[in-house]
Structures are given as C-alpha cells and as structure tokens.
C-alpha cells in the first residue's frame, strides 16, 4: 500500500480543464457571473456571457472549482441532474469588485490561489487537481521530461486507487501538458497546436517562476525551481503555514519548520521552499504579530501560534490586503452561507436510481 495521503487528499478529477490553463481574467469573470447565476456554466448562452468558446466555459467551470472559488451542489429539482455552482466566501473575499484583488494584480494573490489549488483542507475541501498534487508533493525534485512526469503520476494513481477508478492515460498526459503551460515561463511555441501562442501569453501563473525548461522537443526537461521567493509576500506564506497547521491544531500550539518544509501537502512542497527560506520569511513578519513566534528547542525551529491557527491565518492575510473584512457591509462566512445555501449542500449527492446517468458521464461521453 502507498505511504502517501493521496487517497484522502484528492478527488479523482483528470482532464477537466479541456487543455486550457487558467487565463487572465477568467476567475474574476466566472465569479461575477456565478454569484448571480448558479446555472451560468450550464446555459446555452454561457459562451456569449463569459466571452469565451464552449470548451473554455468547461475550463472556467473546472478552474473555479479547483481553486475552491466555487462549490457545486445538486439542483433543488430532483429531476435535474445538472450541478449548480455557488461562490465560496473566499471567492467573495478575493475576487469581488471590493475584494482583496479582483484582477489578480498582486503576485501574492497568484501564490495564494496556487496554495488553494493544491491544498486539501478537509474531506469536504479536497484537491480537485490530482496531477498537480502528485507533481508538487510526490514527484522527485530532479529534472523530468513530460513523459516521465506522466509516468510518475500514473504510478501513484495506480498504486493508490482501484483499477476501476483509473483515468485514461491520455487524461494524465493532458494534465501534464496543461501544468507545463500553466507554470513554465520559457515554453516552446507549437505551430500545430491551436491556441499555443495564446497559452504562452495568457497564464498569469507563469509569473511565479516555479518551472523552467531545458532542451527542445520531446527530450525537453523540466525542473521546479527552489529557494527564496522574492515575489511571495511573507503574509501569504504565513497564511499557508497556519492554514496547514490548522489541519492538526484547532487552538494554540506549534508546528516545526521542518514539517512545514518537507511534509506532503505542506507549504514547502507547494512553494518549493526549504526550511531556511521559510524561517527567514516568517521571521520577517513575526515582530508585527504578537500571537506568532519563532521558537527553538533542541536545535529545531518551530512556529508557535496563540489561538486558533485558522483565525490567525485569516487575520494576517486580511491585514496584508488592507483589511477587506472591515469594509462596509462585507459579509461574514456565516452571512455568505445564508445567501448561498447551496454551499451547505455541496458534496452531498442525491441518491440516484439504478442505471441513471450522471452529468459527469454525459460530459465525458461528449468529449470522446
């Protein structure tokens, strides 16, 4: 049996991006529509309303969900199979017109979204990008070709899940190609691939500088960069560290920097940062937050926090973005769930009659 936590961390969702990496403006545009129209991704006029092609509508729906900016729930009408979308409170906090950064102009917001994409906060908030999860948390840190990375992901999936749940090999290969388009800043232009030039220009996550290539063609290798992240705000890193600690602590406590750097699912894996870089970045913010301390015992450094780490995480993040939660009429998470009760039903599947098809089956068949 595998020794990773892959099975509990991810949803088996492969190839749902329709080969499109997330593009500038997509997440804001999707959020602004979803908050008023829960069926926007299902409507015949969605391409017109969202200003993209039909397959891009599917991609926008997927990425909104994968970044945990929407949750999907059953229609109130039991005769309807289609899942409706509800915007999450964190989407309201980040992407609304009076939110923290609706147009993602701060690179820290891209790091934050990258963390949300990979994170598995709870059984109700798993990672919807399993190929991304394996790549950042379980793949070797050496240089790899796209084919080698595909094999690594395939092996972990096959070792973790029963054969009936295995995705088609092409789905994982498409995931790897999409991941490279999303993060690599030095891609090769493919004249035979529609949209290849746009892909080179349109993914904001290239700004993170996480992935670099060497060589050409099929033998081109890829390496995730490591080290200090000059464009990663210390507040966003502190948020991620405390968010991770909240999976183990509901009140005051501590977590070693070694765990934050090396454990599967931890910020060090997601941001490709080692223990010294995490320590240095966190120390730069501790003096401004008395509930946060760096302590050392028996040669091991730890991050100590007073109070619930999740609450402290949001306090630090919100302060970095000029106290979004203090703005006039800004809703609490509880207020937001009252407005969008579908958030409470997300993940709760209505029992289906034997032989009844699911929306996912219809979608997959339509893609074949």
Same domain for 122 and 202, yes or no, is yes
Q: For residue 7, tell me if it sits in a domain.
A: no
DSSP state of 106: S
Q: For residue 268, tell me if it sits in a domain.
A: yes
- Burial string for 220-242 (b: 16+ CB within 10 Å, else e) reads bebebeeeebeebbbbbbbbbbb
Query: So what's the pLDDT on residue 363?
Result: 45
Same domain for 75 and 136, yes or no, is no
Query: So what's the pLDDT on residue 329?
Result: 94
Same domain for 221 and 244, yes or no, is no
DSSP state of 99: S
Same domain for 97 and 116, yes or no, is no
Same domain for 197 and 246, yes or no, is no
Query: So what's the pLDDT on residue 366?
Result: 37
Q: How many CA atoms lie within 13 A of 316 on its CB side?
A: 29
Structure-block tokens of residue 115:
């963390």
Q: What is the pLDDT along the chain (368 residues), one digit of tens a residue?
A: 566 799 999 999 999 999 999 999 999 999 999 999 999 999 999 999 999 999 999 999 999 999 999 999 987 777 777 899 999 999 999 999 999 999 999 999 999 999 999 999 877 789 999 999 999 999 987 899 999 999 999 999 999 999 999 999 999 999 999 999 999 987 665 655 555 556 656 899 999 999 999 888 778 999 999 989 999 999 999 999 999 999 999 999 999 999 999 999 999 999 999 999 999 999 999 989 999 999 998 889 999 999 999 999 999 999 999 999 999 999 999 999 999 999 988 876 655 554 444 444 444 433 33
Same domain for 258 and 195, yes or no, is no
Q: Is 310:121 a contact under the CB 8 Å cutoff? A: no
Strand partners for 125: 122
What predicted TM-score, i.e. pTM, was given to this entire model?
A: 0.91
Query: So what's the pLDDT on residue 364?
Result: 41
Domain interval for residue 340: 25-103+325-346
Q: For residue 97, tell me if it sits in a domain.
A: yes
Structure-block tokens of residue 199:
């892909």
Same domain for 161 and 272, yes or no, is no
Query: So what's the pLDDT on residue 361?
Result: 46
Q: What is the CA radius of gyration of the chain?
A: 20
């Amino acid at each position: 049996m595998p020794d990773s936590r892959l099975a509990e961390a991810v949803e088996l969702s492969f190839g749902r991006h329709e080969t499109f990496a997330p593009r500038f403006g997509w997440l804001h545009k999707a959020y602004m529509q979803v908050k008023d129209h829960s069926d926007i991704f299902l409507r015949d006029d969605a391409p017109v309303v969202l200003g993209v092609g039909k397959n891009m509508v599917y991609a926008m729906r997927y990425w909104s969900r994968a970044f945990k900016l929407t949750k999907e729930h059953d229609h109130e009408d039991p005769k309807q199979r289609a899942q409706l979308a509800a915007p999450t409170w964190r989407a309201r906090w980040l992407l609304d017109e009076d939110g923290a950064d609706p147009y993602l102009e701060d690179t820290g917001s891209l790091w934050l979204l990258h963390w949300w994409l990979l994170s598995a906060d709870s059984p109700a908030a798993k990672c919807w990008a399993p190929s991304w999860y394996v790549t950042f948390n379980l793949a070797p840190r050496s240089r790899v070709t796209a084919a080698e990375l595909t094999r690594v992901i395939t092996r972990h999936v096959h070792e973790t899940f029963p054969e009936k749940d295995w995705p088609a090999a092409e789905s994982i290969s498409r995931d790897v190609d999409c991941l490279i388009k999303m993060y690599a800043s030095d891609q090769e232009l493919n004249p035979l691939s529609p949209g290849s030039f746009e892909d080179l220009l349109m993914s904001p996550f290239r700004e993170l500088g996480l992935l670099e290539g060497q060589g050409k063609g099929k033998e081109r290798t890829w390496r995730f960069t490591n080290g200090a992240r000059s464009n990663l705000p210390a507040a966003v890193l502190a948020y991620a560290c405390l968010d991770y600690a909240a999976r183990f602590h509901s009140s005051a406590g501590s977590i070693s920097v070694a765990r934050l750097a090396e454990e599967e699912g931890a910020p060090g894996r997601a941001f490709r940062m080692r223990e010294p870089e995490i320590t240095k970045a966190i120390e730069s913010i501790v003096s401004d937050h008395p509930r946060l301390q760096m302590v050392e015992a028996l040669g091991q450094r730890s991050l100590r926090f007073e109070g619930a780490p999740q609450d402290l995480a949001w306090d630090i993040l919100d302060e970095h973005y000029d106290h979004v939660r203090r703005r006039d009429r800004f809703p609490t998470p509880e207020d937001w769930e009252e407005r969008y009760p579908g958030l409470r039903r997300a993940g709760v599947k209505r029992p289906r009659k034997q032989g009844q098809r699911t929306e996912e089956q219809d979608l997959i068949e339509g893609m074949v």
